[in-house]
Structure formats: C-alpha cells, structure tokens
Amino acid sequence: MPKIAKTADIQTVITTFEMSPGTCQDLLEALQDAYADFISKQPGFVAAGLHVNDAQTRIANYSQWRRREDFMAMLRSPEMRERNRKINELCRSFEPVMYDVAEVFGT
C-alpha cells in the first residue's frame, strides 16, 4: 500500500493523463495491465494507485519507488517503451513528474 511520509526515503512519481471519456476505460485497462504484468515486478517498485476524475477526462497515477534510478530504469526498458507508445495513442498527453514529500496531514 502506498504510504505518504515526509521522512520516507523513496521517490514519488505523479503522472497525469488527459483523454476523452471514450478512451478512459481503455487507458485505465492498459495502465492496470502494465502495473499487474510488468511495472509492479520491477526492482525498486514500492506501490501505486490509479485515480479517475468524474468526467473521465483525466487519470492521475501516484507511484512510489525505492530510488529515482529504479523508476528511470523501468521507463527505459524495451517493454515499457512499447507500452508507453500504446498508452500515448489512447490519450492526448501524459507526463510523469518526480516529487519529494514536503508535508503530510491527517492520520
């Protein structure tokens, strides 16, 4: 399970995808397959979550990795490069951005 903590020594990546409602389910399934079959099995993978907005025009993906290099190695792998080409066909755009946790609120 993803755990958000300011003191955690992990790399956080938030990726946003923009698409039409007509391709949202196809894109969601492609992302689910990518995580189930490949991404979650890569060295350094910790956890991830997929979130869909009400209008089905955006998907937000929150993932955590042990190290920045682990995430980059996964992205550069031949399998993920091929998957990303297919994912790109299903959406207008997508952008992974690496973040550091600045603060956490709640329990």
* CATH code of the domain containing 28: 3.30.70.100
Query: What is the per-residue pLDDT for 107?
Result: 66
**Residue percentage of the chain with pLDDT more than 70:** 97
Specify the pTM: 0.91
**21 within some domain:** yes
Residue ranges making up the domain that contains 71: 11-99
On the question of pLDDT at 7 being above 90, the answer is no
**106 within some domain:** no
Q: Judge contact between 62 and 51, C-beta under 8 A.
A: yes
**107 within some domain:** no
**Residues 6+ positions from 40 with CB-CB distance below 8 Å:** 48
Please count the other Cβ atoms lying within 10 Å of the Cβ belonging to residue 13: 20
The domain tally of the chain equals: 1
Tokens, residue 49: 């979550």
How does residue 22 score in pLDDT terms, banded at 50, 70 and 90? very high
How does residue 60 score in pLDDT terms, banded at 50, 70 and 90? very high
Q: What is the mean pLDDT of residues 6-33?
A: 94
**1 within some domain:** no
**2 within some domain:** no
